[in-house]
A and B are shown apart, each in its own frame.
Chain A
Amino acid sequence: MRTESMPRPRRAAPRLLGHGLTVLLAAAALLPRVARSDDAEGVREIRVERVKPRKEKYPTLRFLKANVDFIRAREDRLSEKPADRKGGAESIDPRFLAYRELLARIMAGRDSIARLDDQRQKEQLLASVTELGTLEQQLDQMDRQLSDQRTRLAVLEKDFTGDQRTSLMVVLSGYPAGAAIASVGIQLEDGGVLSVPLSDDQRTTLRQGGVVQMFHGLIEPREQVVSVILNGERWPSGDTGYVSLDPARDRLTVLKLDLSTVQVDPGAPSIQASTWVHDAGAPPIGS
């Protein structure tokens, strides 16, 4: 069974907002959405094709390509010229400097909460009225920490709301009865293969109706073909299917791959795939 992840090219690191398998059983933001997605409006069933769909090619930048040697030579000459004026540094947005401080405070807050929690557990053994008073003070302090946290999150949300980027989340659901899947891979048109091995726990999660996130990253807002690759004992060299996606600009598009319908013989094309735009906003602060 192949379980290793194939390396992504250089650009993978900045693009991936978070990858690897994350069980979303507790992720209330998405799971209810997935659970009701079958009958929700906007959910579109998509075929997983055996043969990669052909796309029309459009020639682009024809003048540049025809004259690139000349233009490049001109540009190269420019880059050799020394600058005749001093470069002045621009002042940094003070908000960006404040983020570091905010993060430090968040970490400090987390440490003190953990310390207080630990202390509180010990103190529960000593049931005296005085200690209960101290406990109340500590709970107040924790409450204050949470309040500060809310304020800091509000600052971050204020600065970044509206900066939604076009992104894709790929989630897995279900598990086939008659075929063992060792790993699932995806490949975007302009990227390398991301192969994600399924652990025993994750397989159990999928069997029990859970959802597993396998990819969450930025994607170009254009019609494109995503390759889905199944690996397992019955597909030692991988079995590939293709889904066509047109991610909505500045929105999060979710691609759900339901593995429960997978059969050995058709392989990847027997995956039941569906897609929708995830409209739910960020959960309220403090919830």
Chain B
Amino acid sequence: MTHIERRPARGLTSRRAIGLAGLALALLGFASPPAALAGHPAPFAAKAGVELAQNAARSWAADAQLIYVENDDDLDDSGAAVRWGYLFYSASLDQARAYSVRNDKIVQAENLAMKFQAPPLAQNWMDSGAALQAADRQVGHAFRQKHQGHLSAMLLMRGAFQDADPDPTTWTLVYTAPHSASLFVMVDASAGKVRRTWRG
């Protein structure tokens, strides 16, 4: 007959408890993204900050309309940045006001010192990640490889760089390289197609 001996439950010794706590912390460290661990704000795609900026802009002027978006911090390979800038124009105030969003907070708000009146962006523009993919696929990736370049800016606006058909909202991606002229790639923000490229 097999005799099963039931051993009394024992509390954790303090050494064991410390060891387990250390293990748990180490596991937590592997599981969490480095940015979050270090307390750094996380990068996000351009669209994620629009709502907050729009909320602020409506407080500033009821007729405020989004006219321009630009990365305020370095872009990563997925078209995300830690900080994005959003520019609104109010016809009633005849003024433009910018909001810089980081970590789901507005960290900077300022009126644009110079006069700048651009048409409002379309509602259904594609996010920065998809625009970057389209640009990279066609020309951006090759430029980066050939010239050791990198993506330095993404600009969302309407009209400025497209004379023939200025109405669509477009992303303009600016690739720079240390010893070569910059590459500009314009992507239609609704169709996701590269419309134009040029060096400058």
Contacts and interface: CB of A to CB of B under 8 A. Distances in A.
Nearest to B110: A60
A65 B102 CA distance: 20
Given A72-B116, A190-B109, A219-B59, A58 B161 contact: no
Interface string A208-224: 00000000001111111
Contact of A166 (B59, B62, B105): B59
Contact of B59 (A56, A65, A165): A165
Contact of B117 (A74, A75, A221): A75
A72 B113 CA distance: 13
A249 to B, nearest CB: 6
A1 interface: no
B93 A63 contact: no
A165 B155 CA distance: 29
Contacts, number: 108
B20 interface: no
B87 A75 contact: no
Contacts of A68: 114, 116
How big is chain A's contact interface, by range? 35 or more
A64 interface: yes
B105 A62 contact: no
Given A61-B68, A68-B116, A222 B62 contact: no
Contacts of A14: 61-62, 92
B100 interface: yes
Contacts of A249: 52, 55
A49 interface: no
B100 A58 contact: yes
A11 interface: yes
B166 interface: yes
Interface centre among A64, A68, A79, A190 (most CB of B within 10 A): A64
A249 B116 CA distance: 28
Contacts of B105: 222-223
B61 A74 contact: no
A58 B56 contact: no
A165 B106 contact: no
B108 A60 contact: yes
A86 B87 CA distance: 29
Interface in B37-62: 52, 55-56, 58-62
A78 B119 contact: yes
B83 A221 contact: no
Interface in B114-160: 114-119, 153, 155, 157, 159-160
A222 B104 CA distance: 10
A220 B106 contact: yes
A75 B155 CA distance: 15
B174 interface: yes
A-B CB proximity, top 9 nearest: A222-B106, A218-B59, A60-B100, A220-B56, A60-B85, A58-B108, A74-B160, A61-B85, A78-B159
Given A14-B92, A64-B155, 10 more contacts: A58-B108, A60-B110, A71-B118, A72-B115, A74-B159, A220-B99, A220-B109, A221-B55, A221-B106, A222-B106
15 contacts: A11-B60, A11-B61, A14-B61, A63-B155, A68-B116, A71-B157, A72-B116, A74-B159, A81-B166, A220-B56, A220-B60, A220-B106, A220-B109, A222-B106, A223-B105
Interface of A: 10-11, 14-15, 56-65, 68, 71-72, 74-75, 78-79, 81, 165-166, 189-190, 218-224, 249-250
